[in-house]
Amino acid sequence: MTESPNRASTAAATTGAPPPGNRERFLAACRCQPVDRPPVWLMRQAGRCLPEYRALKEQHTFLELVQTPELAVEVTLQPIRRFDFDAAILFSDILVIAEALGQKYHFRETGGIGMDFAVRSAADIARLDDAALPERLSYVWEALRRLKQALAGRTALIGFAGSPWTLANFMIEGGSSPAFDQALAMVRNEPDLYARLAEKLARAVARHLRLQIEAGAEAVQIFDTLGGQVPAELFEAASGKWLRAIVAELGNRVPVIVFAKGVHHAWPALAGTGATVLGVDHAVRLRDVSGQVPANVALQGNLDPTLLLTDPEQVTAATRAIRDEMRGRPGHIFNLGHGVPPAAGLENIAALVDTVRAQS
């Protein structure tokens, strides 16, 4: 894939400086610095829709792919080889933190995730032990170290974790659920108990992300995927304050992306977490969000993932519309409004990437 000429590359040619590489472009956009075009990467870009990933899945379970460094590295690199994204995100899972705390999980035969026990009481919370977290997650740091070397400074490396609220939903529910109502019931009926769990999770998430940074992650994303299930008046107690605590603990060592799916009522509050970048889902216009957050907070998003199930023409048109409405707004990172669907067409992903790169 080649990039179309643009003002930044023309200026670079005049001054003799090389145009920015993928890594530099992504990190600059995170800081709302000028770039030649928006950087692009996709949530869940590794796995599922790629035939090379499906071939690996025929030989290994999901947990084997996550917990075996050489396999996690291979899966992370597969979409980079195909599409040369500006950033690679570690292939892992948000529930590795729950497992490292002592609450193991598995995949149910009927589908979905099951936890070995549900966290419903003070005694259950006390069972969660963060002392062994670094040892139990050593495979994560090893994968990141190998990835940093493999990417060779060309592609930015992103680490990630689930938010305390999203983790708490799985942990309190005891696994996947069509409703996820137990955590919200705890916030309403036993707020002190929930706060005890969320505080422990916030410490674990911050530690997990710090160790990822030390192992080579150049940015980290916090997935508050279930944030939209919290009523506006409870969002601060359930999620907001814990996101803020994690970002504060990380300091300003690397850009921090907060993706709170469905949280459309609290953009100023999300910006107030201290996040460098806010991920935006596809239920809102990116330009509308831009007017509600400070100009020094970057925005990431937000193509509807279901468009990747259509055809290149529709993907190109929708990508161009988002690209053009954000033109001139420093700090736009092109992404989806959620993860890549398993049945996404590879030709549609290629159309998305080519359209972003055609910006001048």
One pLDDT digit (tens) per residue for the chain, 360 residues = 333 333 333 334 333 445 579 999 999 999 999 999 999 999 999 989 999 999 999 999 999 999 999 999 999 999 999 999 999 999 999 999 999 999 999 988 778 999 999 999 999 999 999 999 999 999 999 999 999 999 999 999 999 999 999 999 999 999 998 889 999 999 999 999 999 999 999 999 999 999 999 999 999 999 999 999 999 999 999 999 999 999 999 999 999 999 999 999 999 999 999 999 999 999 999 999 999 999 999 999 999 999 999 999 999 999 999 999 999 999 999 999 999 999 999 999 999 999 999 975
How far apart (Å, rounded) are the C-alpha atoms in residues 327 and 37?
Answer: 9
CA geometry: angle 266, 268, 270, nearest 5 deg: 65
Q: CB of 157 within 8 A of CB of 218?
A: yes
pTM of the full predicted structure?
0.93
What is the predicted pLDDT for the residue at 305? 98
Closest by CA position to 39, among listed 301, 351, 325, 349: 301
What is the predicted pLDDT for the residue at 348? 98
In a domain, 57, yes or no: yes
In a domain, 216, yes or no: yes
What is the residue whose two structure tokens read 């999980």? 105
CA dihedral sign of residues 172, 175, 179, 180: positive
- Which one-letter DSSP state was computed for residue 4? P
Q: Which amino acid, 218?
A: E
What is the predicted pLDDT for the residue at 111? 80
- Enclosing domain of residue 220: 20-357
Question: β-pairing, 113-115 with 105-107?
Answer: antiparallel
In a domain, 209, yes or no: yes
In our burial notation (b when 16+ CB lie closer than 10 A, e otherwise), range 172-211 reads bbbbbeeebebbbebbeeeeebbbebbebbbbbbbbbbbb
175: region left, alpha or beta (phi > 0 left; psi from -120 to 50 alpha): left
The CATH number of whichever domain residue 55 belongs to comes to: 3.20.20.210
In a domain, 149, yes or no: yes
In a domain, 4, yes or no: no
Outline where the chain has alpha helix (H).
7-15, 22-30, 51-57, 62-67, 69-83, 96-100, 122-127, 133-136, 138-151, 164-173, 182-189, 191-215, 235, 241-250, 267-271, 286-290, 312-325, 346-357
Burial of 264 (0-12, 13-18, 19+ CB in 10 A): middle
What is the predicted pLDDT for the residue at 19? 59
User: How many structural domains are present in the chain?
Assistant: 1
Q: Which amino acid, 41?
A: W
Q: Which amino acid, 328?
A: G
In a domain, 232, yes or no: yes
What is the predicted pLDDT for the residue at 54? 96
What is the predicted pLDDT for the residue at 1? 35
Q: Which 3 state secondary structure label does DSSP give 106?
A: strand
In a domain, 9, yes or no: no
In a domain, 348, yes or no: yes
